[in-house]
Amino acid sequence: MLLLQLMKSTRMNTNVLIKTLVLAGLVASASSTKATPIYDNLGAASGGADPVAPYGPLYDSFTSSGSIQAITGLQLALYGPGGAGTITVGLFSDSSTAPGALIATLGTIDDATISAGINDYTLSLVSDPLLAASTRYWIGLSDTGQSTSWAWSLDVSGTGVSGEYFANQNRVWPNNTYGPYQMTLSIGSVPEAGSTTAYLFGLGVAGLVVLRRKLA
């Protein structure tokens, strides 16, 4: 009887340990990917909107934080009233304060979903590329249609806006003089090795217990 009680107690303690490890890993992972805006002028008053096509591609530059980060969110101020075509949003490198090579496609937006007037749209990210520390990048928009425009603002008081640049088919322009396109770009920290290890260890222990039960 005592042996059975000990075995039952050991099983319960193992289950508690597994749940604790997995929960700790999930909490650590969630906290490490908390979104932080590093460029944000969506709340500024719009001064107008430039057609993404044929006036584009259109670009906004931004500078990453002081550590390696991942893009976790992007919102854009777009002007409708919709139509045929698809907007492609990409992350580009910097080439001497100008848009450089495409690094990754971040997502697409159907022109038909853009309503009349200027509204904010959240991009469904298809990739979350890592950003090197303290490095300038560009968000670029191209459009196969003719109906959608990207709003701009002369207000450069938002987070990370002053001192950056925007570009269109004419040239590269300084934000502080002419007013950039409007967006909010958020980043999240790369999960720490310790947090990832704890999470994977918890899952590994859980897997071993399941395997033992199947073999029993």
Average pLDDT of 116-142?
A: 97
- Going by C-beta distance under 8 Å and a sequence separation of 6 or more, which residues neighbour residue 90? 102, 103, 104, 105, 106, 139, 140, 142
Burial 134-171 (b: 16+ CB within 10 A, else e): eebbbbbbebebebbbbbbbbbbebebbeebbbbbeee
Does any domain span residue 29?
no
Name the percent of the chain lying above pLDDT 90.
67
Contacts of 1 (CB under 8 A, 6+ apart): none
Q: What is the mean pLDDT of the chain?
A: 81
| CATH code, domain with 141 | 2.60.120.820
Q: Which residues contact 47 (CB under 8 A, 6 or more apart)?
A: 152, 153, 154, 179
In a domain, 95, yes or no: yes
Residue 109, domain member (yes or no): yes
Q: What is the pLDDT of residue 190?
A: 72
Residue 17 maps to a domain? no
**133-153: average pLDDT:** 97
Q: Is residue 8 part of a domain?
A: no
Name which of 25-29, 144-148, 161-165 the model is least confident about.
25-29
In the prediction, which pLDDT does 189 show?
81
Evaluate whether residue 45 is within a structural domain: yes
Q: How many domains does the chain have?
A: 1
Domain span at residue 151 reads 36-189
Look at residue 6 and tell me if it is in a domain. no
- pLDDT, residue 192, reads 52
Type of residue found at 57? P
Is 103 contained in some domain?
yes
